[in-house]
Structures are given as structure tokens and as C-alpha cells.
Structure 1
Amino acid sequence: MSQEDVVSLADKISGVLEKEKNAKFPCKEKFDEINTKLSEIRSKISASLPQDQTDKLRDALHDLNNILAECLGLSNQQQNVKKSLVSAFSCCMPAHLSNKLSKVETTLQDILPAGIEQQVIGSPGPSSQEEDDVGDDYEWTCSYVDESMLYGDKDEAEKIIKALVKDEDFNAVGIVGSYGSGKTNLARKVFIDEKVKDEFPLRLWVCVGPDCKKHELLYRMLDNLGLETDEVEEIVNNSKAVKDSSNKDSAKIGVLLFILHWQLSDVKYLIVFDDVWCSTDIEWYRNLGSKPPTDKAWDDRLGYGLPKGNGNAVIITCRNEKDVRTMVDTGLVYTPKRLEVDEGFRLFKRAFDEAKKNSNLPVEEGLEKKLEEMKKQIVDKCLGFPAALMAAGRGLATQQNPCVD
């Protein structure tokens, strides 16, 4: 297919989305986001995009066109079906379509590195920082990161991957450590590993954070699976379970868990729950490997919404070891290693160089040589903690006359 044909296909998709701009169909918001980038795709092609990239783009646009057709087909079916809990599911984004759409986004991300960002649950945007202090400046994490920004021993990720792919119904791994110890970095390394991508067709990243309510967490997950929030709310509010319940808030959680379970039931998944704080509601997170009960409501444990029996897996990062062991039960609990001198100094120096470049301050003559000579003292002073090393590098770079003696 020529570049002109690829442009024509992009125009076709854009035209359909424009025609259906007032329609409701699964994952419409995500399609609209992609549509805003089609003009950038055209400009890339007109600037003589390499043939291998053109071929990748062609395949991605073909997939996007097919996914759009299926979603519009589901929407048309819904128009003639009475709204009920079961029938309304037909207008939601099935997991296999959500998975295909995620692959298309990944391809477009490769071609447009500054364009479409990988979808993140509960995150305003990508962050290259490890974690931030809790409060108004809390830094939401996501799975997308420049791979050159990752650090640490490759063997650490391999140990976790081995635990995730064990021949079990369900595998849970916990990563525990204090703030800035590298938990999120390690989870990201596992999440983007090629073996993990091959093993788990569906991968979700959930930044939980402090004070996360049950319904907020579930809506984030369902949104990332392609379900429109207003449609899910209508399903929940109109369900018999909620209407007949004296405790509607609890019943709504149960219905949301049922929808989540249904949505994940036909695909092998890996879910990362990053930065979980569960001290105030430990029962909600207890033993994520729990199977849903047959004799009572599903409203009291997150694990009931996670299907078992297909080799599915979860990773939990947490600052409290007791809490993470409660969540993974008998699963592996791993603490990231502190960085060795060379790796730690590389992280420090990268943060220093980036901050110095942005500060427009001159580099003191001989400073870099001094830093190289003191690298062991720098890493030891920061206890090998990634966040401390990056903060030290940025702080030193913005000083007018830094003293490193």
C-alpha cells in the first residue's frame, strides 16, 4: 500500500468519526482522541515516513477501522434492545476490542512519540518521576515511560515475571518499600517486558493512591476497559440489585464488581495496582485471589471482580509490608534493591544534567570531575534510593555556587 493509500484510509476513518460525532458507541472518547491525531499522521506521511513505519501505520489503521466498525455495530444493536443489566452490556466495549484498540494506540505511540499517550487509569498524564509526596502535589503514575529512564538490575524484573507466569489459576506479586525506593520503576520494567506482553494480551495499569474510594477505583478500571462512565452509571442505577437494596451504596459496589468480572472474563490479564494505601480498608483489598461467593453479595472484596482460573495475575506496589502480604496472601513479596554506585550515580547525573540544562546556570569549572570522584559518597549519602538521588541531582544543579566538598 502506497503512502497515498494510507492517507486515504486515515481520511476515511476521520470522515466516519465526524459523521458519527453525535452518536454514542463504546470507547467514543478514545476514538475522538485518536481522531485529533490523524492530521499529524498525514503530515508525517507527507514528510516521507520510512516504508517500515508506513507499513506499521497501514496495519494499525486497518485494525482501527475494523474496531470502529464493530463498535458502531454494537451501538446499532443496542438501539433495538431494552435497557437492562445484561442487554446494556452489549453496548460496552468487550475486552477483546479494548485489547485491539490498546495495540493500535501502542503502534501510533511508536510512530508519534509526542502524540497519543498510552491510556492511564486515574492519571492526568505521564510522569518520569518515581513517586511524589502525598497531598495536593501527589504525582499520579502510569505505565508509559521512556525506557531510557528505567534503572536497576534486570534480574529483579525477571524474578517477578517468573512468579507471574507460574502455572496457577491466579498469581499475585507484591512490591514493597518506602517512598522513593523504586517500586513503581520495577513494576514498569515488568509491565513493558516483551515476555509479559506475549503472556498477557490485556495489561492494565491502575494508580490507586491515598484515599481512593471503592467506586472511584472500579470506575477507573472500567473506563480503561472502554466502558463509558455515564453508561455504566445508568446500568448500575437501573439494576434490580440496587433498586431492591436497602444499602444502595454497597449494592452499587457489588454491581460494579460484577461488571468488572464480566469484562475481564474472556481474556488473560495482568493488572498493576500501583501505590496502594489500604490501612483504612484492609478487608476490601484482602487476598486478591479470592473467588466470588455464590451465597452472598459481592460488595466487600476487590478480588471478587478479578476472574480466576486462566493464569491471570496482579502486581501490587505498597509502602506497608503487612498490607501487601494481606493482599497477595501466599504470593511473592519483593523489596527493590538499593542502587549500586555506578547505577545510582548514573541516575543522579541524569537528573543533574536535565536540571542544569533547564536552569540556564553555568557549570562550575571542574564540577563534573569532582562529582565523578565523589560518586560513591553521593550514592551512599542517598542510601541508594532512586528518588533521593534524583532530588539531590536536581537540587545541586540549581545552586548558584554548589559546594560538593
Structure 2
Amino acid sequence: MAESLLFSFAQSLIGKLASRAVEEASLALGVHRELQQMKATMSLIKAVLLDAEQKMSQSSALSEWLRLIKHVFSDAEDIVDDFECEALRKNVVNTNGSCSRKVRRFFSSSNPLVYRLRMAHQMEDIKERLDKLAAHRNLFGLKVIDRDNHVVHVREMTHSHVNPSNVIGREHDTQNIIKLLLQDGHQEKLSVIPIVGMGGLGKTTLAKLVFNDTSIEECFPLKMWVCVSNDFELRNVLVKILNSAPNPTKENFNNYETEQLQHHLRNTLRGQKFLLVLDDVWNEERARWDDLKEIIDVDVEGCKILVTTRSHSIADMMRTKSSNSYLLERLSDDDSFSLFVKSAFEDGDEKKHPQLLEIGKEIVKKCGGLPLAVRTLGSSLFSRVDKKEWEFIRDNEIWTLRQNEQGILPALKLSYDQLPSYLKPCFASFSLFPEDSIIYGYGVTRLWEALGFLPPPQKYESMADVGKQFLHELWSRSFLSDYVDVGTDCYFKLHDLVSDLSVYVAKGEFEKIDPLNQQVSEYTQHLTLIENNMGGRALLPTGLRTLHCRNGTNNEAFLSTLVAKCKYLRVLNLCFSEYESLPRCIGKLKHLRYLGLSDSEKLKELPDSICKLQNLQTLNLRGCIKLQKLPKGIGNLISLRHLTITTRQPDFPEKEIANLTFLESLHFVKCDNVETLFTGLQLPNLKNLFLIECGNLKSVWFHAIRNVEVLRITKCCKLELWMGLSSQIPDSRLKFLVLFDLEQLITLPQWLEGSVNTLHTLSIYDCEFGGAS
């Protein structure tokens, strides 16, 4: 299915071939003519890719042709990126090398003549492969469709919580569940009520409607919501329940043992009439459920547990004697059609298109009464009034497939097919994330940026703005659930069936390795290792672009092998790793855009060779609590846009950081030895500044960062906001200011007055706040 991501990739690659840096590099290397020929051949192939993607399910030969194209295009992208690396290397040497021989030696390249011959040879090889593939395009009867006409019409955002007026056909179900929860439990003090139904029926939405009902608020003083999913390990479920309950002491339960957790939870529940929602339960082992139930049964009359699950056997196992499972039915035809109209049209616009409404009724019947299918497919047709497009959806052959043939809903697959090509690789990347997890827009955008999925921003835009717009478009198509826009960022979840769809469309290009699946295709480009001991056994494709070790790793031999074999890596995420240092060879990954080392609590040092990575856009050192200092030469990371730091270093290397002119976001987290910031530093493009739990930070010279739009200061107990500047900052662009748990905050600083015309949000929490200036 990864072949369906090809058009967007081809479009991006051809744009790179026309860039100034690549043009100059090709002229300098004497391969400009070959480059132009390669670009022309790629354009011929790109012209038929959209038609090929639509027809590839009909022909295995066509699918293989597309796979070969993807392979040669990837090799071509590596050459293009190599040109850009060379241009960046020369930029650093020309800027800093004139005054330092060490810089020239540090960035020394291979013999220029050898490099030129090698690149010319590689380009000739790619040209020959492209010519053969281009010649074969006529064998498949493909039409030229050189423009993607699937345009997203973005509707206005709504709030993230369930709005009953946006839910159709579930009023009766809501009242039935509420009655079950409010009725006496007879002889049982703890009652369990399961809601059962297939995926996409709206079980979670129904549970939310009930959870937020005022009568439930009045009856249950304590309410807790836990998304269980596939993880029913007792300790993990206890942590989730505690995290959803009030926590006045702000304890971090993540490092507690099971005995401590059960003790804390029973103390929290004791004497409280509670409602606990266990959403999306998959566990079929009665012993695990019995262990949990024994802990949360604190002998209080009227406590209830509401469970959502797809499995009748799980419901029968969990329900108590006095309760029955609630079987959630499909929506009626009338309710399904009402939901479809609400998703596909602006209010009232449907009356202008009676023909589309008739076609819509036929489409709705094929969705089988599943709200997720109806809403997603309706959203994909939003503001599209071409009758042929609606007929294409109605008459598509995918409806002849049963859902269980591929494990996906035909309606969701059709909605994916209707996405603009530039959103398809973004959607496929969701397959790398854990199921049922909260996904933050900030992290997703950094990934898309590193992989080249985002186009260059327009004037006055940042890459974060572009990424957020893409997420907004996916939300408008109903692919994202529980979407919350907090201004500075957003977060969301994926419905199980949407997550399954992302895995399906990404297969072959995005893969996961876990104990049950240790095989990976040689053409895989984006890989997630689920367990930290998988690294030594994993087969690493040479063309790998992304490696994410989800639960850390400590295998040094694996890391050295990775660097030697996967030299075109763009994203390397080693969060929660147990390394004390990284090998010097890490500096050879010259294509690397993203290096994540967050929560690597044993990491003490980074090799200076990291500073050879001129393509690096994101460096995340959050939670590296033993890191002694930043690597020497960090100012050479001239492409860096996002830097998150945790270090014991007392003095911030401002002279070096001043060279990072593209820096957009800078986060200091638990930098306890830093006392002063920005005394002699100007960062003109800095948009986001976070100061989190820097215990000894006393002063920040905010005039040095006057273009910052988002400022968050949390638990910096010694920071005096007025120090360093007594008057307002002229021409301030500050939009979001969050002040949290600041003991020294008595009055708002005077410099904030300069933001009166730009400030959107001012949030002050848990501060000893006495008045405003």
C-alpha cells in the first residue's frame, strides 16, 4: 500500500531538484546536464502516478512498477540531500573556518575529485533506471493526471469535549445507561456495566455523553476515566486510574511499585462513591480483571464501573450479577443520513443539492449504520458538489470487500483515497505511534518536518504553523478524535479503526518490530522497535529513514551498526535509552534531521561530533538529568530549529547559540545550574520559549527575544520576571503567556504592557500573585 504515497514524494523531490543549492552543487560537480535529464524523466513519470495509484489494486505488475519507482526515487533523494549536505558543510567552513584551522579539520570532506566521480556514477545509474521505468509506463494504459484535485475544505474548529448536539441517534442509549448507573446495585456495592458493540459504533462517544451528564456529576463525587486498550497489566492500569483521580499532592506515580500503587488507590477511593470508566477493554484473562476488581472494591455502596468493549465474552466476564451488558445497536437509516448531511454540508446548504442528497442516501446505506464510517465519509465530501465525485464514492468497487478481508472499513479506506496527496504520507506516519495514545501536534510536526512531508512555510509562517494546518485538515476529515487545540499546541487520539487504516496504507514503508513480528522488508523506510531488547536482532534496511526505539535501548553495538549501515537516516529517536554516552560515529549521519534523546537519564555526555550534523533541525535532550554539558561546537548546527535542553551546565553557551539563526523553539527543562539567560544574545527568529523547573534561574533578559510569540514559565521558583528590564518591550509579538507555580510572582512585569495589542492568552496558575502592574 505504500505505493499510494508516491505522488506526493515525487512532487517534493522534483521541487528539491530545482532548488538553488542543488543547482549550484550540480554545476560545481559537472553533473548539471545529468540532473536536468533526471528531473525531466521524473516529471514524465509523475504525470501518470495519480492514475497508477488508483489502478494499482487491479494489477500486480503495476504495483511492482510503482514499488520500483519508489525505490529509485528514494535513491535520487539521497543524492539530492547529499548535494545539500555539501553546501551546508561549505557554509560552516566559510563562515567559521577562516579564523580556525580546527573548524576546517573538523568538517573536512573526502577527496573532492573522488566525491565528484562517485556522485556522477550514482547519477548515471539512477538515470538509466529511470529511463527503463519511464519506457514501461505505456504498458499499463495510464492517463496523464498531473494535478491532485482533492482539495481539503477546512471547516471551523469546535471545542474538544463531546457536545450532545453533535451526536445523532444516541439520546435513548444515553438515558438508558444513565438509568443503569443511578439504580441501586441490590446486593452488590460495586456494579460493572459493559457497553458492547463493534468498532466504529460510538461506544466511547456514548460513554462520554454519560460521563459528562449533570445527573452523573451529582450522583458520583469522584469520576475517573481510563483508556485501557491492549494494556491490561495491573501496574499500568493502576497508574492510569490514579492519574485520572484528584492528586492534590501532585505525586508522580509512574515510578511506584504495584504494592505502593494499590495502597494509594485504595486510600483515594476509600469512603468515596465513584464512577470509573474503563474504555476500550481487550483483556480476556479473568485473573487480571479479578486482581484489579479486588483492589478497587472499597466497600462503598453504589460505586459503578462503566466498561466499553467490542467483545461479548469480555463483557460477560466483567459484568456483575445484578447488571447486564448494554448492546449498542447500529444507527437507523434516518439517523445515519442526518449524521451524513451534518458532516457533508454547511448548515442548510444541503437544500441546494437535491441530486447529491439522493446519492448520499445510497452511500449511507453502504456504511451499515456505523457512525464513524458515516461521519468520516461525509466529511471527505464536505463542500464538494461535483455529482461525479459523489457517484465515484457510491459506485466504488471497495464496497464489495467485507470489512474482515483487510481488517479495515471500506468507508474509511475511501475517505483516505479522497485525501490530497500531500496529506497521505502524514496520515501514514500515524502507524508509528502507539495505539490509544495521546498524540501531540508538536511532536508530529517535528517528525513531518524532518521527513520532508511539509512544504516550505509562507511569509510570516513557521513550519509549526504548516504542520498544525495539516493536522487541522485531517481533523476536518474526521480522522482525528478528541482533538484539542490549546493555542500553542494541539493533541488528539486515533480511533482504533483509523489506527488500523494507517497501518494498512503504510505497510511496506512504515513498519513495527515486536516479539510477534521480527521480519521487515528491505524496502522499509520508517521503523519502530517496540521493545528495548529488539535492537540486536533487528534487520535494518540500508534505506532506512526513521528509527524510533519506543522504550529505549542500551545496545551499543546495535547503534554502531545502525550508523554504518543506515547512513541516510533522517530521524533517530532514542528516548528512554540507557546510554551513558553516544559513539563518535554518530557524526557520520550527515542526513539526520531529528535526534531525540529525551528521558535518557543515564546520559552523561555527547560527542562533539554531533555538531557535524548541519542538517539537524530538532535536538531533544529533555530529561537528560545527568548530562554535564552541551557538545562543543553546537553553534555549527546551522539548520537547527528546535532545541530542548536538560543539562547540569551552569553557563549557557550564548556565543555559539547566537549562530543558530533559524532557531524557532528553545526549551530549558530542569537546567538547575543556569542562573541567567540572554544577557548578550539575540535570537531574531525565536517564536517559542519554555522555561520549565529551572530551580536556580534568577533573571532572563527578555529584550533579547522580543519576537517570541509563546512564552511558558513553570516552577522557576527564583525567577524574578522584572529583572533585566524595567520598561516595556516595544513591538512585542507575544501571543501566549503561561505562568505556572512561580513563588516570586507578586505583580505582572511592566514589559508585558508592550504586548497589549498582540496577547491572545494569559494563563496564571498556582502563583503567589498579588496584583497587576
Provide the TM-score with structure 1 as the length reference: 0.50
| Aligned partners of 1:223 and 1:229 also within 8 Å | no
Match of 1:320 in 2: 311
Match of 1:333 in 2: 325
The structure 1 residue matched to 2:275, chosen from 270, 282, 288, is 270
Seen in structure 2, the aligned counterparts of structure 1 residues 207 and 231 have a Cα distance that, compared at 3 Å, is closer
Structure 1 CA distance, aligned partners of 2:377 and 2:259?
Answer: 46
Match of 2:179 in 1: 162
Q: Partner letter of residue 213 of structure 2? A: D
| Aligned partners of 1:170 and 1:313 also within 8 Å | yes
Q: Tell me the secondary structure at the aligned position of residue 381 of structure 2.
A: helix
Structure 1 CA distance, aligned partners of 2:165 and 2:294?
Answer: 34
| Aligned partners of 2:196 and 2:309 also within 8 Å | yes
* Deviates most, 313-322 or 208-217: 208-217
- The runs of 4+ residues in structure 1 deviating greater than 6 Å are none
The offset of 1:377, in angstroms, is 2.7
Seen in structure 2, the aligned counterparts of structure 1 residues 334 and 254 have a Cα distance that, compared at 3 Å, is same
1:146 aligns with 2:163: yes
How do 1:250-329 residues align onto structure 2 when only pairs under 5 Å count? Answer: 252-279=257-284, 281-286=285-290, 300-329=291-320
The structure 2 residue matched to 1:351, chosen from 335, 340, 343, is 343
Match of 2:240 in 1: 220
Match of 2:703 in 1: none
1:380 aligns with 2:365: yes
Q: Partner letter of residue 148 of structure 1? A: S
| Aligned partners of 1:201 and 1:267 also within 8 Å | yes
The offset of 1:375, in angstroms, is 4.9
Seen in structure 2, the aligned counterparts of structure 1 residues 264 and 376 have a Cα distance that, compared at 3 Å, is same
Where relative contact order (Cα < 8 A, 6+ residues apart) is larger, the structure is 1
Q: Tell me the secondary structure at the aligned position of residue 194 of structure 2.
A: strand
Seen in structure 2, the aligned counterparts of structure 1 residues 229 and 306 have a Cα distance that, compared at 3 Å, is farther
Q: Partner letter of residue 270 of structure 2? A: S
Structure 1 CA distance, aligned partners of 2:234 and 2:190?
Answer: 22
Match of 1:205 in 2: 225
The offset of 1:386, in angstroms, is 0.4
Q: Tell me the secondary structure at the aligned position of residue 389 of structure 2.
A: coil
Structure 2 CA distance, aligned partners of 1:266 and 1:349?
Answer: 48
| Aligned partners of 2:210 and 2:216 also within 8 Å | yes
1:176 aligns with 2:180: no
Deviations 1:241-275, CA, capped at 9 Å, x for gaps: xxxxxxxxxxx324312321210112211111111
The offset of 1:329, in angstroms, is 3.2
Q: Partner letter of residue 201 of structure 2? A: S
Seen in structure 2, the aligned counterparts of structure 1 residues 381 and 232 have a Cα distance that, compared at 3 Å, is closer
Q: Partner letter of residue 343 of structure 1? A: D
Match of 1:105 in 2: none
| Aligned partners of 1:174 and 1:334 also within 8 Å | yes
| Aligned partners of 1:200 and 1:270 also within 8 Å | yes
Structure 2 CA distance, aligned partners of 1:254 and 1:218?
Answer: 10
Structure 2 CA distance, aligned partners of 1:311 and 1:366?
Answer: 49
Q: Tell me the secondary structure at the aligned position of residue 332 of structure 1.
A: coil
Q: Tell me the secondary structure at the aligned position of residue 370 of structure 1.
A: helix
Structure 2 CA distance, aligned partners of 1:194 and 1:230?
Answer: 29
* Deviates most, 223-232 or 144-153: 223-232
The offset of 1:339, in angstroms, is 1.2
Q: Tell me the secondary structure at the aligned position of residue 201 of structure 2.
A: coil
Q: Partner letter of residue 402 of structure 1? A: E
Deviations 1:356-391, CA, capped at 9 Å, x for gaps: 9xxxxxx9x998312333454333211111011012
Structure 1 CA distance, aligned partners of 2:379 and 2:162?
Answer: 19
Q: Partner letter of residue 377 of structure 1? A: E
1:190 aligns with 2:210: yes
Q: Partner letter of residue 277 of structure 1? A: W
The offset of 1:309, in angstroms, is 3.0
The offset of 1:212, in angstroms, is 4.7
* Deviates most, 148-157 or 365-374: 365-374
Seen in structure 2, the aligned counterparts of structure 1 residues 403 and 255 have a Cα distance that, compared at 3 Å, is same
| Aligned partners of 2:201 and 2:328 also within 8 Å | yes
Q: Partner letter of residue 169 of structure 2? A: G
| Aligned partners of 1:260 and 1:306 also within 8 Å | no
Structure 2 CA distance, aligned partners of 1:305 and 1:173?
Answer: 15
Structure 1 CA distance, aligned partners of 2:205 and 2:357?
Answer: 25
Q: Tell me the secondary structure at the aligned position of residue 397 of structure 1.
A: coil
| Aligned partners of 1:186 and 1:336 also within 8 Å | no
Q: Partner letter of residue 261 of structure 2? A: L
Structure 2 CA distance, aligned partners of 1:191 and 1:231?
Answer: 25
Seen in structure 2, the aligned counterparts of structure 1 residues 205 and 368 have a Cα distance that, compared at 3 Å, is farther
Structure 2: state its 5+ residue gaps: 1-156, 395-773
Structure 2 CA distance, aligned partners of 1:156 and 1:226?
Answer: 29
Q: Tell me the secondary structure at the aligned position of residue 301 of structure 1.
A: helix
| Aligned partners of 2:197 and 2:329 also within 8 Å | no
Q: Partner letter of residue 320 of structure 1? A: S
* Greater share of residues in helix: 1
Q: Partner letter of residue 329 of structure 1? A: T
Structure 2 CA distance, aligned partners of 1:258 and 1:368?
Answer: 62
| Aligned partners of 2:266 and 2:295 also within 8 Å | yes
The offset of 1:337, in angstroms, is 2.1
| Aligned partners of 1:219 and 1:229 also within 8 Å | no
Structure 1 CA distance, aligned partners of 2:162 and 2:261?
Answer: 30
How do 1:363-402 residues align onto structure 2 when only pairs under 5 Å count? Answer: 368-397=353-382, 401-402=388-389
Structure 2 CA distance, aligned partners of 1:333 and 1:146?
Answer: 25
How do 1:11-90 residues align onto structure 2 when only pairs under 5 Å count? Answer: none
| Aligned partners of 1:257 and 1:302 also within 8 Å | no
| Aligned partners of 1:165 and 1:171 also within 8 Å | no
Structure 2 CA distance, aligned partners of 1:209 and 1:220?
Answer: 12
Sequence identity percentage: 29
The offset of 1:308, in angstroms, is 3.1
Deviations 1:40-69, CA, capped at 9 Å, x for gaps: xxxxxxxxxxxxxxxxxxxxxxxxxxxxxx
The offset of 1:311, in angstroms, is 0.4
CA RMSD of aligned residues (A): 3.1
Aligned length: 228
Provide the TM-score with structure 2 as the length reference: 0.27
| Aligned partners of 1:344 and 1:389 also within 8 Å | yes
| Aligned partners of 2:224 and 2:275 also within 8 Å | yes
Structure 1 CA distance, aligned partners of 2:192 and 2:333?
Answer: 31
Structure 2 CA distance, aligned partners of 1:372 and 1:403?
Answer: 10
Q: Tell me the secondary structure at the aligned position of residue 163 of structure 1.
A: helix
Q: Tell me the secondary structure at the aligned position of residue 180 of structure 1.
A: coil
Structure 2 CA distance, aligned partners of 1:233 and 1:366?
Answer: 54
Q: Tell me the secondary structure at the aligned position of residue 345 of structure 2.
A: helix
Seen in structure 2, the aligned counterparts of structure 1 residues 403 and 163 have a Cα distance that, compared at 3 Å, is closer
Structure 2 CA distance, aligned partners of 1:154 and 1:344?
Answer: 14
The structure 2 residue matched to 1:403, chosen from 390, 405, 429, is 390
Structure 1: state its 5+ residue gaps: 1-113, 118-125, 127-143, 237-251, 287-299, 357-362
